[in-house]
Amino acid sequence: MIDKELGTIIFKQNIRARRMSIRILIDSLHVTLPYGFTEKDGLKFIDEVREKLKIKQTKINKKTLLLTDESVLETLTFKVQLQKAERKNLYSSLKSGILTIEYPTQLNCEDTRTQEYFWNSINYFLRNEAKRILPVRTKELALQFGFSFTDVKIQSSKSRWGSCNTKKNINLSYFLLLLPIHLVDYVILHELCHTKEMNHDKKFWEWMDEVTFGKSKTLRKELKEYSIPK
């Protein structure tokens, strides 16, 4: 069904679900209904939390990067180029630093499913490139500043750029490749500092100032200007 404020509402039954849940997208809601619940129950639930849904959908819209033929998206190692083509299916190829994504001329590139394909393609190559680059860069920075770590894993986290646990395992989001190189280094150094100080106390920021040559506050502020695309 279509809601004037929230867009398309899609209901799905899931007998394993213990409670009703709503997945919020740019122009739609995907509502999971547990056993015994109907679409009427789902609509009632939506109306109860409508204002919250509108606020969250607005936030998603602000963080969403809509890809079109005119989009300019450049990652750390490749540029993205969308092209209409006389073909039946979508197709993507990375050559010479250009990720070309071709899509049928009759397809609306702003359609949610088409956008999902675009981003799935980009994410596939982001992950591959991140696995090639980020562990090596982490080793270089660790050697330069005298840190030690156990392992580096590349993840698809959309909530944080990186993390480090008590075993000195560092996790890095492949979306880091959407940042300028100096901010990529800042995030890696942030996690390396956590191998010495797990919290964000005074000692931690002293380490950060040391490895960023007194620029940790400036770099931290700059990083906040970026967000992981939804």
In terms of residues, how long is the chain? 230
pTM for this prediction: 0.73
Bridging pattern class, strands 162-164 and 98-104: unpaired
- Domains located in the chain, CATH noted: 2-63 (no CATH), 73-125 (no CATH), 130-223 (3.30.2010.10)
pLDDT in tens, 104-144: 988 888 888 888 899 999 999 999 999 999 999 999 999 99
Contact 216, 208 (CB under 8 A): yes
pLDDT in tens, 49-105: 999 998 887 766 555 677 888 877 899 999 999 999 999 889 999 999 999 999 998
42 C-beta neighbours (distance < 10 Å), count: 20
At residue 57, φ and ψ (nearest 5 deg) are: -65, -35
What gap in Å lies between CA 224 and CA 222, rounded to an integer? 5
pLDDT in tens, 179-202: 999 999 999 999 999 999 999 999
Give which of 138, 120, 142 is closest to 130, Cα–Cα: 138
